[in-house]
Structure 1
Amino acid sequence: MIYPDNFEIKIGFSEIRRLLKERCLSTLGKEEVDRISFSTKADEVNEWLAQVRDFRRIQEETENFPLSYFYDVRASVLRARVENTFLEEHELFDLRRSLDTIAQIVKFLNTNVDGDDEENEEQDGWKVDKKYPYPALHRLAEDIMTFPQLISRIDQILDKFGHIRDNASPKLLDIRRELARTEGNISRILNGILRSAQSEGVVEKDVTPTLRDGRLVIPVVPNLKKKIRGIVHDESATGKTVFIEPAEVVEANNRVRELESEERHEVIRILTEFTDKVRPHIKEIILSYLFLGQIDCIRAKAELAKIIRGFEPEVKKGPAMDWIQASHPLLRLSLERQDKKVIPLDITLTKQKRLLIISGPNAGGKSVCLKTVGLLQYMLQCGLSIPVGDRSTTGMFTNIMIDIGDEQSLENDLSTYSSHLLNMKNMMKHANESTIILIDEFGTGTEPAIGGAIAESVLNQFCQKNAFGVITTHYQNLKHFADSHEGVANGAMLYDRHEMKPLFQLAIGQPGSSFAIEIARKIGLPEQVIQEASEIVGSDYIQSDKYLQDIVRDKRYWETKRQNIHQREKDMDKAVSRYETRLQEIEAQRKEILAKARQEAEELLKESNKKIENTIREIREKQAEKEETKRIRQELHEFEKEVSAIDTKANDDMIARQIEKIKQRKARHEKHKAEKAQKQEQAAATLRQAVNKQTGTKVLEVGDEVRIKGTSSTGKLESIDGKTATVIFGGMRTKLKLNRLEYAATPSTSSQDSQEKTLSKNEEMAERLRSYGISKETRKTMDDHKQNFHQDLDVRGMRGDEALTAVQYFIDDAILVGMPRVRILHGKGNGILRQLIRQYLGSVPNVTHYGDEHVQFGGAGITIVDIG
């Protein structure tokens, strides 16, 4: 069910249809675009998407796909169902070219590339057709008939320009030959008469025979028309020229008219005879044109997918939505025309969190997020590519219902709020576990208190019916509802408080502030008005809104910080890798230089030996003295020692200097890092002393008994690292921000005072918990994690992104409860899971070591993680 009737207009799908029609090659494709409809069958939608995927591959891999002559001649073919009717020449020409296009497409898609008859196999959940490169389009084309005999017969009838051939039949050939002879005789007779008339001055020199009413005539001045014997057929508009058919060619012209009539009758006979051959195949021909329209429509889908950067995901049968980097296609096109970029959204709806309540400032992107969900899900179930990341998960919904915009109706006497209530009524009536509901500005249009109450009650009904949905609102009670009910999640459109501009980013997990006070102050509303408004709503409301803003700000700050740290770690790893590579290159160069030096020395030694031996031979031949020979041999021996002792000290010195530079660079880096940490610690200590001096409280030091603000449990402060402290609570080591801790004073000996203080602490704790926005369910979940934590995590059989998410939560819990060592079971396989998990572990600061388990206990199939 799609609700309401103007759903496509509301979400912008009518504009998607227009973009598709602009990319169609014919009316056939445009009609197919009009027939695009919403499907609730996952197999059907997956087949449609596979067709688009195949066509996109065709566009990338080949330029030979036939895309010419997408003519729509169905009206002419259907007219031929009546006996004794016939197709005209131009209709026959269009039929021939379009039938040939269909035949080429079918041949292209049904081409067997492997030449075998092996059956299809399953690979990664997809059917892989060994015989056909584009299996989805092959399935679309395999039952389509082609008509080579009709095409061949048309080629016998028409020439390449679409005209009836002279030899289309023997009779037509005879008629046209006689017609050509007769017209030739007429032309010769007329030319003779014309030359004679020109010589007599009856006709001007530049006059030539012309055609009037299908007969060859001579133009003559009116006062000389009696000079030429014949029939006057016409005169010019000015009356200065008359057209005379000489009597000598009257009979010949009459014969031409008879031959033309015979020619036309023979052409009609030929066309009628061919049409009789077409008539039995009209149904199959119409089906082939429907196939041509489908190909045209699929091509338009592929073209649209390119410009919106669409993707064809695998669609699951049940309701599911885990979209990564999703963007509104129409907004993307609009911003690209302005040289701007769209900011993608990550949207997740699961069975555990079915309803997403999005809050945030006006013009912050809430409605765009809502329309993005509606449009992309509708496009998906219509078989269109959607602009999401390739790791996204998609599913099917049987009902999509939307309430957006002003539906005030004068005809039905409905106010804006009445129309919203009517929509709520219909949504509650048809909502079920496979329904997705999209509501913009939930509960508005009436008095805020009762409007918020009704909206909360309606939201509760949706929860009970297990419906999925995305709802935008400004009401605080709906934000609290999401925090205190299972199956509902808060979401916020982020806003930059310093720049006072929306960021158009969706953050799921906490509610957002409307920033009403800040926006009012930015546009220049008088401060007195703002102060009075703040007093009217009360300090509690302003304070809670401030907490929401602080939460959003802190999350953005720490998220940016985490990304910067990870980036710096990556840069550091790259630098270390670069230095190591450089060392290896230097060592290789050193060995190469040494080897080359030794080789040159050996060659030099051999050459020297050869020369000296020649010298000695010459000395002997000349009978030189023995002392001279001995001296020469001694010089040879000393030279040999010098060559053998060639030292590589220069190269070694160069390498040593390079290594020393690297070591000094590392030492300076470590020193700078230590100094920076020391300065941060000193600054933090100075800040703590200043704050505590001002407030009159004790400065927290290592070894103090402390407690978390708002709680009664005490622990021992083990260490302080900047703004982060490590505290031991009941044997469990926990890291948390220093500003969340306070000094725990020694309890009083008086039991009455103790009880009063305990009550006071409990009240204070409850108040602070409320101010922090921590629900009982959240607190209970945190306690359960600590009590029920297991040391082993099994991610075998999971996808990479699922396993990585599970490991992230597992490591966070292990750090929270102070577990020194944990194990992750991922199996061996191809090692992909192990690689992904260890890449993540290398980015976690608290992980001190990770590696394979002992061979006896699983080896490379299990990763041991040490946490410091």
Structure 2
Amino acid sequence: MKSYPQNIEVKLGFDKIKEELKSLCLSTLGEKYVNVLSPQYKVYAIQKLLTQTNEFRKIISAGYSFPQNNYIDIRAALKKSEVRGTFLEEEELFEIKLSLNTILGILIFLKDKEEEYPELAALCLNIELDESLAKELEAKIDDKGVLRDNASRELVRVRTDIAKSQVRARTTINKVMKQAGANGYCPEGASITVREGRMVIPVLAEHKRHLNGFVHDESSTGQTVYMEPAEVLEINNELRELKYAERREIIRILTELTDRVRGSLVPLESAVHFLGIIDFIRAKAGFAIKYEGICPELSSKPVLNWINARHPVLEMALKEQGKSIVPLNIQINHQQRILLISGPNAGGKSVCLKTIGILQYMVQCGLPVPVAENSKFGVFSSLYMDIGDEQSIENDLSTYSSHLKNMKFFLDNSDKNTLFLIDEFGTGTEPQFGGAIAEVILHELNRKGAFGAITTHYGNLKKAADKLDGVVNGAMKYDIKKLEPLYALEIGNPGSSFALEIAGKIGLNREMLGRAKKLAGVSHVQFDRMINELEVEKAEIKKMRKEIEQKDRRLSDAIKDYEELKSFMEEEKPKIIQQARSEAARIIKESNKQVEETIREIKKSDADKRRTQEARQRLKEMESKVAEPDKWPTKTTEPKVEIYAIGDKVRIKDGETIGEILSIRGKKAELAIGSIKSLVALKDLSKLSNTQYKSLSNERVRKISGIDVNAKMTSFSPNLDIRGVRAEEAMVKVESFLDEALLLGYEEIKVLHGKGHGVLRDIVRTVLRGNHRVGVVKDEHIEFGGSGITVVELK
């Protein structure tokens, strides 16, 4: 991708992104790829880079044991091994061994998971390493980077002889030193030391002639000399010869191993290149995790549809200060190719511009970006920007001249695949001329079909953006009441600079502000005021729309509840009528039996047979009429459908229980009955007015407080049986029973509710938990009813 100016990465802050990537690399191999990182303009190439990073991110997130150690740059050692006759040192071969093991571990991992990570596995295709080289290096170099004793038979023999000679030399010299010490020839606390690779003992200078041997060194004061006793001279000579033999054998082995490396130079160089790429991709995946970046959807068309876009460098800086960034929603497409951003100073216009630049630059470099998942990125072939003060002393260019020079480059090089970014368009000269030139340049860039974003304060550009096809106004949002920036971008309307308002907030004299308005001109002030008023009206409309939406949702819920209740009533109505008819038939049938009994009695008393027969016939006719519901009159009065709402006061039908509706759930309502909450079918409720509810509540209190204690004591039983009672009635009965027991001073009561499904038991326990005068609650002893009876100890 072509970019302008040369220091575009510094201006965007991309240099800091690179530094962050380098810090996440494990070696200089990965850092090398960070240094040459540059944007691509082919969609398939960018997609490949993003997919590689996304696959590695999945590896990290899955917690797989991916090789992470010994990403070593062995290129210098490989270069050294190219010359025949040379040999690599043990440390260099050790690094090759470690690097080889890491590369082989990565190859094994990716080949095993080729289906899961196809793009990463594809990187392994051209890597062909000779595993025997790794095995040979492992066999001859230990984990400390030293040749193993068994690297060859000769090395085993030489090192064995060295060990034996060292034992002989130490034994002999210890004997000599012990004798010298006994004679007072050695300094107090002296010990054996080594000089020039030979074992020596420290001797006081005045006694050096009392011992046979060779002086190798003396102390800085000259009071002590270091002598090699004659007794160990020959042994030390043998040791030196053995050391020479050891070194010759080591060089032979190292030369042999270097030859093996030289024979695999080409595949080794490819493997090192592969290791660097893996390190680089791993760093990009780590960056994505740290900055919550994603690999977004790409489009071959130049388009930006970003949701919750964040500038990564700014976001990290704000986090360090304990602040959070305001995400931006940005749309640039063929209908609105150029976005003109206005608003007050320090409102976030330049940050918005840099966010567009750095995120587009990052994604075309194959880097994950901090945006929402459903964001979409297009690809541009060139990115140009004009941000900041470019005054040049060397070229004798002013800031404005520099801007114009940049504009000329934009006009000469922009096309339909260009993305340009211009900050403070037209500033640096007289506003009247600067605004006019900027408007002409805007027209020309728009004519070329280029894409871009521009920040400005000029009113003529805002007006032009409203008229030009392909150009759209945008504003950085501002709290008009508090006169504080909100740092959020809103596309569709221009923004005000709020210059006069900010000046007033700072404390400038009102009279001065009035004069400034006159100098600015009526049209400019009116235009700015109109933008401000539009902002206020827009905020009010947004607030009203939100309230209307909330009311609409509540209305929809109420209509839904009404429809459900009506449907329920229509479904239940035939069932209720049928039940009533069946019950009526049963009652008449029972009555008929009773009449038959009466007739039998009449017969016994010789009553008139004809009249008896007539009575029986009338009973049969009535029974037949009741037993045939289809012949019943069909005209019925439509029952009134009650509409309930939260807060309504209600009574449970067929009882004295009253409560308040807390919520409505379909065909049921959640009631607050005293301290208890219960779900009751809407069909079982009847609405009460506030006066009725208060009256019934007071009546209940009077009933409790007006009790004749003596009479109640004689009739009260400490055992309550609620088996077969409905849940709502059970709550009322238990509450009343508890109130009476506390009033009469009982210490223990029992509630018989049976076992069943445990519903009544749960209700009893819930009521008891709501009373602070209840102490211990437990099941009755197993022999007397167990969990079917609740025993309550009262405080």
Shift of 1:558: 2.5
Of residues 302, 310, 322 in structure 1, which corresponds to 2:285? 302
Task: Give the letter aligned to residue 33 of structure 2.
Answer: E
Q: Distance in 1 between matches of 2:283 and 2:559?
A: 50
2:414 equivalent to 1:431? yes
Q: Given that residues 187 and 202 in structure 2 are in contact (C-alpha distance below 8 angstroms), is that contact kept between their aligned partners in structure 1?
A: no
Of residues 192, 198, 208 in structure 1, which corresponds to 2:191? 208
Task: Give the letter aligned to residue 465 of structure 1.
Answer: K
The answer for the alignment partner of 2:56 in structure 1 is 55
Q: Given that residues 356 and 470 in structure 1 are in contact (C-alpha distance below 8 angstroms), is that contact kept between their aligned partners in structure 2?
A: yes
User: Which runs of structure 2 are paired with 1:31-50 in the superposition (5 Å)?
Assistant: 31-50=32-51
Instruction: Single out whichever of 180-189 and 338-347 deviates more from structure 2.
Output: 180-189
Q: Distance in 2 between matches of 1:395 and 1:299?
A: 25
Q: Given that residues 462 and 494 in structure 2 are in contact (C-alpha distance below 8 angstroms), is that contact kept between their aligned partners in structure 1?
A: yes
The answer for the alignment partner of 1:291 in structure 2 is 274
Structure 1 residues 665 and 431: alpha-carbon distance in aligned structure 2, compared to 1, 3 A threshold: farther
Q: Given that residues 99 and 147 in structure 1 are in contact (C-alpha distance below 8 angstroms), is that contact kept between their aligned partners in structure 2?
A: no
Q: Distance in 2 between matches of 1:316 and 1:68?
A: 38
Structure 1 residues 98 and 543: alpha-carbon distance in aligned structure 2, compared to 1, 3 A threshold: same
2:385 equivalent to 1:402? yes
User: Which runs of structure 2 are paired with 1:772-783 in the superposition (5 Å)?
Assistant: none
Find the residue that maps to 2:123 and give its secondary structure.
helix
The answer for the alignment partner of 2:177 in structure 1 is 194
Q: Given that residues 305 and 332 in structure 2 are in contact (C-alpha distance below 8 angstroms), is that contact kept between their aligned partners in structure 1?
A: yes
The answer for the alignment partner of 1:520 in structure 2 is 503
Of residues 243, 247, 254 in structure 2, which corresponds to 1:260? 243
Q: Distance in 1 between matches of 2:687 and 2:340?
A: 52
Root-mean-square deviation over aligned CA pairs: 2.8
Of residues 305, 312, 321 in structure 2, which corresponds to 1:322? 305
The answer for the alignment partner of 1:110 in structure 2 is 111
Find the residue that maps to 1:137 and give its secondary structure.
helix
2:417 equivalent to 1:446? no
2:75 equivalent to 1:74? yes
User: Per-residue CA shift, 1:338-392, capped at 9, x if unaligned?
Assistant: 1111111110011111011111111111111100000000001001111111111
Q: Given that residues 342 and 456 in structure 2 are in contact (C-alpha distance below 8 angstroms), is that contact kept between their aligned partners in structure 1?
A: yes
The answer for the alignment partner of 2:453 in structure 1 is 470
Find the residue that maps to 2:424 and give its secondary structure.
coil
User: Which runs of structure 2 are paired with 1:87-236 in the superposition (5 Å)?
Assistant: 87-112=88-113, 131-203=114-186, 206-236=189-219
Shift of 1:552: 1.8
Q: Distance in 1 between matches of 2:230 and 2:46?
A: 77
Find the residue that maps to 2:88 and give its secondary structure.
coil
Q: Distance in 1 between matches of 2:271 and 2:123?
A: 11
Task: Give the letter aligned to residue 275 of structure 2.
Answer: L
The answer for the alignment partner of 1:750 in structure 2 is none
Q: Given that residues 208 and 225 in structure 2 are in contact (C-alpha distance below 8 angstroms), is that contact kept between their aligned partners in structure 1?
A: yes
Q: Distance in 2 between matches of 1:104 and 1:156?
A: 18
Q: Distance in 2 between matches of 1:177 and 1:297?
A: 47
Q: Distance in 2 between matches of 1:351 and 1:324?
A: 18
Structure 1 residues 268 and 399: alpha-carbon distance in aligned structure 2, compared to 1, 3 A threshold: same
Q: Distance in 2 between matches of 1:580 and 1:261?
A: 104
Q: Distance in 2 between matches of 1:291 and 1:97?
A: 15
Percent identical pairs in the alignment equals 44
Q: Distance in 2 between matches of 1:10 and 1:3?
A: 11
Q: Distance in 1 between matches of 2:52 and 2:390?
A: 38
Structure 1 residues 226 and 571: alpha-carbon distance in aligned structure 2, compared to 1, 3 A threshold: farther
Find the residue that maps to 2:307 and give its secondary structure.
strand
Q: Given that residues 231 and 247 in structure 1 are in contact (C-alpha distance below 8 angstroms), is that contact kept between their aligned partners in structure 2?
A: yes
User: Per-residue CA shift, 1:784-841, capped at 9, x if unaligned?
Assistant: xxxxxxxxxxxxxxxxxxxxxxxxxxxxxxxxxxxxxxxxxxxxxxxxxxxxxxxxxx
Q: Given that residues 102 and 146 in structure 1 are in contact (C-alpha distance below 8 angstroms), is that contact kept between their aligned partners in structure 2?
A: no
Shift of 1:475: 0.8
The answer for the alignment partner of 1:381 in structure 2 is 364
Structure 1's unaligned 5+ residue stretches are 113-130, 582-647, 669-868
Of residues 201, 213, 222 in structure 2, which corresponds to 1:239? 222
User: Per-residue CA shift, 1:468-511, capped at 9, x if unaligned?
Assistant: 00001111111111111111101111111110101111111111
Shift of 1:575: 11
TM-score by length of 2: 0.70
Q: Distance in 2 between matches of 1:577 and 1:149?
A: 77
Q: Distance in 2 between matches of 1:576 and 1:177?
A: 99
Shift of 1:550: 1.5
The answer for the alignment partner of 1:358 in structure 2 is 341
Task: Give the letter aligned to residue 470 of structure 1.
Answer: A
Shift of 1:651: 12
Structure 1 residues 201 and 482: alpha-carbon distance in aligned structure 2, compared to 1, 3 A threshold: same
User: Per-residue CA shift, 1:188-228, capped at 9, x if unaligned?
Assistant: 22122223323334336743322111101111111111221
Instruction: Single out whichever of 68-77 and 417-426 deviates more from structure 2.
Output: 68-77
Structure 1 residues 571 and 93: alpha-carbon distance in aligned structure 2, compared to 1, 3 A threshold: farther
The answer for the alignment partner of 1:280 in structure 2 is 263
Q: Given that residues 101 and 134 in structure 2 are in contact (C-alpha distance below 8 angstroms), is that contact kept between their aligned partners in structure 1?
A: yes
User: Per-residue CA shift, 1:565-596, capped at 9, x if unaligned?
Assistant: 54676689899999999xxxxxxxxxxxxxxx
TM-score by length of 1: 0.64
Q: Distance in 1 between matches of 2:227 and 2:79?
A: 47
The answer for the alignment partner of 1:556 in structure 2 is 539
User: Per-residue CA shift, 1:586-642, capped at 9, x if unaligned?
Assistant: xxxxxxxxxxxxxxxxxxxxxxxxxxxxxxxxxxxxxxxxxxxxxxxxxxxxxxxxx
Q: Given that residues 103 and 147 in structure 1 are in contact (C-alpha distance below 8 angstroms), is that contact kept between their aligned partners in structure 2?
A: no
Q: Distance in 2 between matches of 1:367 and 1:662?
A: 66
Structure 1 residues 153 and 340: alpha-carbon distance in aligned structure 2, compared to 1, 3 A threshold: same
Q: Given that residues 71 and 275 in structure 2 are in contact (C-alpha distance below 8 angstroms), is that contact kept between their aligned partners in structure 1?
A: yes
Q: Distance in 1 between matches of 2:6 and 2:408?
A: 16
User: Which runs of structure 2 are paired with 1:614-625 in the superposition (5 Å)?
Assistant: none
Of residues 518, 530, 540 in structure 1, which corresponds to 2:523? 540
Q: Distance in 2 between matches of 1:52 and 1:529?
A: 59
Of residues 478, 482, 497 in structure 1, which corresponds to 2:480? 497
Instruction: Single out whichever of 220-229 and 390-399 deviates more from structure 2.
Output: 220-229
Q: Distance in 1 between matches of 2:300 and 2:354?
A: 23
Structure 1 residues 562 and 134: alpha-carbon distance in aligned structure 2, compared to 1, 3 A threshold: farther
Q: Given that residues 358 and 492 in structure 1 are in contact (C-alpha distance below 8 angstroms), is that contact kept between their aligned partners in structure 2?
A: yes
Structure 1 residues 667 and 404: alpha-carbon distance in aligned structure 2, compared to 1, 3 A threshold: farther
Q: Number of aligned pairs? A: 585
User: Which runs of structure 2 are paired with 1:656-735 in the superposition (5 Å)?
Assistant: 658-659=680-681
Structure 1 residues 448 and 653: alpha-carbon distance in aligned structure 2, compared to 1, 3 A threshold: closer
2:314 equivalent to 1:331? yes
Structure 1 residues 69 and 579: alpha-carbon distance in aligned structure 2, compared to 1, 3 A threshold: farther
Structure 1 residues 481 and 244: alpha-carbon distance in aligned structure 2, compared to 1, 3 A threshold: same
User: Per-residue CA shift, 1:125-183, capped at 9, x if unaligned?
Assistant: xxxxxx52111211122322334211111112111222111111111111111111222
Q: Distance in 1 between matches of 2:686 and 2:372?
A: 45
Structure 1 residues 575 and 278: alpha-carbon distance in aligned structure 2, compared to 1, 3 A threshold: farther
Structure 1 residues 507 and 230: alpha-carbon distance in aligned structure 2, compared to 1, 3 A threshold: same
The answer for the alignment partner of 2:354 in structure 1 is 371
Of residues 328, 336, 342 in structure 1, which corresponds to 2:325? 342
Q: Distance in 2 between matches of 1:579 and 1:72?
A: 76
Q: Distance in 2 between matches of 1:666 and 1:208?
A: 108
Q: Distance in 1 between matches of 2:300 and 2:130?
A: 40
Q: Given that residues 579 and 662 in structure 1 are in contact (C-alpha distance below 8 angstroms), is that contact kept between their aligned partners in structure 2?
A: no
Q: Given that residues 474 and 494 in structure 2 are in contact (C-alpha distance below 8 angstroms), is that contact kept between their aligned partners in structure 1?
A: yes
User: Per-residue CA shift, 1:406-426, capped at 9, x if unaligned?
Assistant: 111111111111111110000
Structure 2's unaligned 5+ residue stretches are 565-652, 660-667, 672-679, 691-795
